[in-house]
Structure 1
Amino acid sequence: MRIDRMNQKNMRGSSPEARQEADLFPAQGTFARRQFAGILALMAGVAAFPRLAEAAVQPKFAAARPFSWDSLVQQARALAASPWAAPGVSPRAVADFDAVGKLTYGQAQALGGNVRLFPAAKGTSPHAVKLHLVENGSARELLDARGLFVGGKAADPAGFRVMTADQRSDWMAYLGASYFRASGSRDQYGLSARGIAVDTALPKAEEFPSFTEFWIENLGADHVRIHALLDGPSLTGAYAFDCRKTASGAGAGVTQDVRAALFFRRDIERLGAAPITSMFWYDQSDSAKRGDWRPEIHDSDGLALWSGSGERIWVPLTNPSVNRTNALRADHVKGFGLLQRDQAFDHYQDDGAYYDRRPSLWVEPQGDWGAGTVMLYRMPTDAETQDNIAAFWVSDQPAKAGQNREFSYRLNWTSQDPTVGTTARCVDSWQGRAGRPGDTPGAQDARKFVFDFEGPTLKGLTRDSGVTAATNLPPKALLHAAAYPVAGQEGRWRVTLDVLPSAVPAPEFRLYLKRTSKSGGEQALSETVIQGVQP
């Protein structure tokens, strides 16, 4: 499952500090090897285009009709009873790359006061979507979008973006299949979410259902409610997104309360709820992967999981040599997400794509999802323009034709780590040659793994506090282990492990910090890190 995309810098105002990358989403295709040359590669944003006069032509709408969540669910249920029809390419899909940019970022009228449209574009997002404006329980369908594109040009919408109050930037966007994203708390796009994942990480083609219709209700400058109809070969769905942008404080970022009702046309081997896609090329832990002068390049650096049992898990992301899948037990899951914990600019040195500002995405199930697993899928990549990471939750209950299923959850797009709590977190990791620096190397294929932890449970502890690193490595694989406080860094502890990969019986091992009291009792001090040992 690879999504090729475009890293494009969208100006947020006129200063370099205000720039934001607005690489958008793929249209349809195979997740195994999707070639996506993004719509926005050429655009430098609003500031790059001349300000044009407001178009004289006005958009046209159908008469208002009653609209509700119940009516949308009925529509999705009825649609599932009929065979799937593949969407056609818009006859007005724009072929010229420059024209796409001008239609997207040129000065034009907004829909409902804060929504601007993406035009259908050949080769990237060729399928038009239906749009409706909702007010007071009634919806008006957009029949003619002229006036909503520069110069009153005739074009079909393929998606939309929600603008800030000053209309200078956008904080949320939907475009292509069931993809959407939000800019988080630092005005920066990064990873993406999807409505649903169908047969991801299986030895067959992945299916990409699409949002085909949207109902948009403007509830204020930083509050919009979006309903969407999903359609695909195996299922249909009704979706509701209650979306809020908060500028500052503990809740800074974007939250989306999501409700989904799904109806299955046929059996689905793997149904992934609340899927997230991201990009990881390399970080400081593996310099051999580096193909660029920048020290690190990634949208996310790890998968975090809060299981129903209360265990906290952290899986550092890697760029594997072959496709890899982790299935993490997550019965009654409390939360999971792909996070960007490392937010130091000097670790990336990128003053255009701003990887240090990329948001994390945390999923909070509303209600009990039951027994299931969180799956992490990783593919090899050699470029930052390819999404190669996916995470989603899979129920133990199979999805069978004729059944229906509902999910409710909250999405938190934020730069504040949602896993901060009473346990210590893994905040950095490295790999290198085993042995003591400067000494003659020991076993030739042995590797040193280094992990740094921070958190309130570690403050005040010393080398005499009974803190050790607990692992599931067998004795023949663990050549040396140490855990100690980092000098001059309050509450920061380091674990070093010399590991013989050939003696490790699994593709990864587990590690956490624990404290043993004088009476023999044990206390877990940190989240559990699941570290891969195979390239």
Structure 2
Amino acid sequence: MTDLNRRQVLASLAALGLLPSTGAAFAQQDGVTLGDARPFSFEALVEDARRRATLAYTPAPPRASETLTAIDYDNHWRIEYRRENTLDLPGGEAPIRFFHLGRYFQDPVGVHVVENGEARPVLYDPALFRMPADSPARALPEDIGFAGFRVLEPGRDTDWLSFLGASYFRTSGEEGQFGMSARALAIDVALQTPEEFPRFTDFYLSPSPTGGRILVHASLESARITGALRMDMAKDGPVVMDIETRFFAREDIERVGIAPLVSMFWYSETDRRRREDWRPEVHDSDGLAMWTGTGERIWRPLNNPDAVMTSTFADESPKGFGLLQRDRDFDNYQDDGVFYEKRAGVWVEPKGDWGPGAVQLVEIPTDDEIHDNIAAYWLSDRPVRRGDEIALDYRLTWSSLEPYPAEVGHVVATRLGRGGVTGQTRPEGVTKIVVDFDGGLVAALAREVDDVETMVEVSSGETSLVDNYSVKVGTAWRASFDFRPENDGPVDMRLYLRRGDTILTETWLYQFHPTREDQAS
């Protein structure tokens, strides 16, 4: 290590306010060099974030941008972290490998190993990676740093957790297939002003003190906010993350999204007119689930709209929400490369009382599966002003199953088609909307029951042929109605089934987007 490299590492640590311990020294572990030991605690990380929020934002100057830009997608994934340099945290439950910087990940992050109340930085060395002879990465400075890290299964053959880019992180869940992501924070999503992307600047890794796989502390930085996070992660089937967040506002912020989730929805069985690919469905998630403070269960199927759409679902003291993949049948995707039916859903469970606010869903147009076009997060009614502290804790559960199944039946399919009655002249400009429910109280209904009511509301337009009946194969119950829009604007729809005073199903919410054909008369 050069003197310059050493000074840069120490300067980075000093900026965190972590003082060196007595007898600090460099150490070697699994082929990885660790720097000087420094005292570490979450409380110190929080105080550092509080301090940084009082200072003007000074972004780190870019380094080797031209060279990093040359490391495009193909060049980036040709750079391999050497297996023999896998870093083992104490306990052996979380082997670590590192991501290299490249065109899409140009901001280096600090990675530190924590043991016995002390943190040691992992020092970058190009020798940790196997690079092709013609790789642009060979021209980078020898202290350029890491882009992020991933956590492997104890057998080291597969990974299950990764942190890479801005404040994104994700896991393969219980079925071993990466899909959607979570973020530490979302700022000004879908506003007229550009979105601000806070980023993790430093990670502190240690064994979980609660019997999980790994404990990750992280520092967060952006132009208008700072933060410190504590993330205790377990993997026993589903992946469960207990997250404590402490954010400090440098400036007023219009929209701060807490516990943001990011996913992809191209198309599903809902609206077959939108299909542009041979596969029946392509999506990481097919709906937004909500469990409100009053106990109502809600399912909102996702859309791929023609323009950015923001939907706000007001609530107080929510019990939870999540972007889920309910369709788990391979036949409905027919993709044996990325296995969409195995993608984990993510459920957000607030800890404590989050007060009044809203779950906000943002849907962005996409014409391909490579783009994340769905975001969901909690938006507090309390405005964020300069000097404010935000301290909201929550649990993320990544699973193919919903962690808190409801007694009521849940939505299993939403389909759109031509309105009218089979065998009769079909009316122009009318869409038939069919919603299938299954499980819980619905599955327990006898087939001959005839007093189930379909409760349907639309924000504009006309409904007709409202009906419901038992699906004769299986235990599902089907609701349907015809709809004629009155204009070309989006229409909010609401539907559920009841029998007497008993609510049988969760509430189906949908945003219908009329097409030109729907406007025909």
Compute the TM-score of the two structures, normalised by the length of structure 1: 0.83
- Residue 369 of structure 1 aligns to which amino acid in structure 2? W
Change in CA separation of 1:476 and 1:231 when aligned onto 2, cut-off 3 Å? closer
CA distance in 2, matches of 1:494, 1:173: 40
Aligned 1:110-125 pairs, distance under 5 A? 110-113=86-89, 114-121=95-102, 123-125=103-105
Q: How many Å apart are 1:94 and its aligned residue?
A: 7.5
Change in CA separation of 1:303 and 1:450 when aligned onto 2, cut-off 3 Å? same
**8 A contact 1:478–1:497 mirrored in 2:** yes
Change in CA separation of 1:138 and 1:273 when aligned onto 2, cut-off 3 Å? same
The one-character-per-residue Cα deviations of 1:85-134 (angstroms, maximum 9, x if unpaired) are 2234343747345553243455341123511000111x200110011100
1:283 to 258, 268, 273: 268
Change in CA separation of 1:510 and 1:168 when aligned onto 2, cut-off 3 Å? same
1:424 to 395, 409, 414: 409
1:107 matched to 2:83: yes
1:74 matched to 2:47: yes
Query: Which SS does the other structure have where 1:386 is aligned?
Result: coil
Q: Which residue of structure 2 aligns with residue 28 of structure 1? A: none
What do you get for the CA RMSD once the two structures are aligned? 2.3
Change in CA separation of 1:474 and 1:361 when aligned onto 2, cut-off 3 Å? closer
CA distance in 1, matches of 2:329, 2:145: 41
**8 A contact 2:461–2:486 mirrored in 1:** no
The one-character-per-residue Cα deviations of 1:128-147 (angstroms, maximum 9, x if unpaired) are 00111001211111233445
Q: Which residue of structure 2 aligns with residue 65 of structure 1? A: 38
1:217 matched to 2:206: yes
The one-character-per-residue Cα deviations of 1:400-422 (angstroms, maximum 9, x if unpaired) are 00111101000001011235220
Query: Which SS does the other structure have where 2:46 is aligned?
Result: helix
Q: Which residue of structure 1 aligns with residue 217 of structure 2? A: 227
1:192 matched to 2:181: yes
Change in CA separation of 1:110 and 1:276 when aligned onto 2, cut-off 3 Å? same
- Residue 109 of structure 1 aligns to which amino acid in structure 2? N
Q: How many Å apart are 1:480 and its aligned residue?
A: 1.1
Change in CA separation of 1:445 and 1:403 when aligned onto 2, cut-off 3 Å? same
CA distance in 1, matches of 2:178, 2:461: 45
Q: How many Å apart are 1:64 and its aligned residue?
A: 1.2
**8 A contact 2:269–2:281 mirrored in 1:** yes
Query: Which SS does the other structure have where 1:144 is aligned?
Result: coil
CA distance in 1, matches of 2:29, 2:320: 49
Q: Which residue of structure 2 aligns with residue 139 of structure 1? A: 119
Q: How many Å apart are 1:504 and its aligned residue?
A: 10
The one-character-per-residue Cα deviations of 1:227-256 (angstroms, maximum 9, x if unpaired) are 00000011000001101111xxxxx22111
Change in CA separation of 1:57 and 1:432 when aligned onto 2, cut-off 3 Å? closer
1:168 matched to 2:157: yes
1:375 matched to 2:356: no
**8 A contact 1:131–1:142 mirrored in 2:** yes
**8 A contact 1:316–1:530 mirrored in 2:** yes
Q: How many Å apart are 1:471 and its aligned residue?
A: 1.1
CA distance in 1, matches of 2:323, 2:315: 15
**8 A contact 1:111–1:148 mirrored in 2:** no
**8 A contact 2:227–2:246 mirrored in 1:** yes
CA distance in 2, matches of 1:110, 1:208: 30
1:531 matched to 2:515: no
**8 A contact 1:260–1:408 mirrored in 2:** yes
CA distance in 1, matches of 2:157, 2:69: 24
Q: Which residue of structure 2 aligns with residue 16 of structure 1? A: none
Q: How many Å apart are 1:526 and its aligned residue?
A: 0.7
1:480 matched to 2:465: yes
**8 A contact 2:29–2:87 mirrored in 1:** no
Aligned 1:76-475 pairs, distance under 5 A? 76-91=49-64, 93=68, 95-97=70-72, 99-104=75-80, 106-113=82-89, 114-121=95-102, 123-150=103-130, 154=142, 156-219=145-208, 223-246=213-236, 252-442=237-427, 444-458=428-442, 459-473=444-458
CA distance in 2, matches of 1:468, 1:236: 51
- Residue 110 of structure 1 aligns to which amino acid in structure 2? T
Change in CA separation of 1:475 and 1:464 when aligned onto 2, cut-off 3 Å? farther
The one-character-per-residue Cα deviations of 1:239-293 (angstroms, maximum 9, x if unpaired) are 01101111xxxxx221110000000000000110000011100011112211111
**8 A contact 1:473–1:504 mirrored in 2:** no
Judge which range, 326-335 or 500-509, deviates more: 500-509
**8 A contact 1:508–1:534 mirrored in 2:** no
- Residue 225 of structure 1 aligns to which amino acid in structure 2? L
- Residue 422 of structure 2 aligns to which amino acid in structure 1? P
The gaps in structure 2 that reach 5 residues or longer are 1-27, 90-94, 133-137, 515-521
**8 A contact 1:216–1:226 mirrored in 2:** yes
CA distance in 2, matches of 1:426, 1:82: 49
Q: How many Å apart are 1:503 and its aligned residue?
A: 7.1
Change in CA separation of 1:94 and 1:325 when aligned onto 2, cut-off 3 Å? closer
CA distance in 2, matches of 1:438, 1:484: 20
CA distance in 2, matches of 1:506, 1:289: 16
**8 A contact 1:59–1:146 mirrored in 2:** no
1:514 matched to 2:498: yes
CA distance in 2, matches of 1:102, 1:533: 44
CA distance in 1, matches of 2:484, 2:260: 35
Q: How many Å apart are 1:457 and its aligned residue?
A: 0.6
- Residue 245 of structure 1 aligns to which amino acid in structure 2? K
Query: Which SS does the other structure have where 2:87 is aligned?
Result: coil
**8 A contact 2:458–2:491 mirrored in 1:** no
CA distance in 2, matches of 1:419, 1:389: 23
**8 A contact 2:489–2:513 mirrored in 1:** no
- Residue 103 of structure 1 aligns to which amino acid in structure 2? I
Over the matched positions of the two proteins, sequence identity in percent amounts to 40
The gaps in structure 1 that reach 5 residues or longer are 1-54, 247-251, 517-521
Q: How many Å apart are 1:353 and its aligned residue?
A: 1.1
**8 A contact 1:240–1:259 mirrored in 2:** yes
Q: How many Å apart are 1:174 and its aligned residue?
A: 0.4
Q: How many residues align?
A: 468
The one-character-per-residue Cα deviations of 1:142-200 (angstroms, maximum 9, x if unpaired) are 23344532379855211000011111111000011100001111000000100001011
Query: Which SS does the other structure have where 2:52 is aligned?
Result: helix
CA distance in 2, matches of 1:480, 1:87: 62
Change in CA separation of 1:461 and 1:90 when aligned onto 2, cut-off 3 Å? farther
Compute the TM-score of the two structures, normalised by the length of structure 2: 0.86
CA distance in 2, matches of 1:140, 1:94: 30
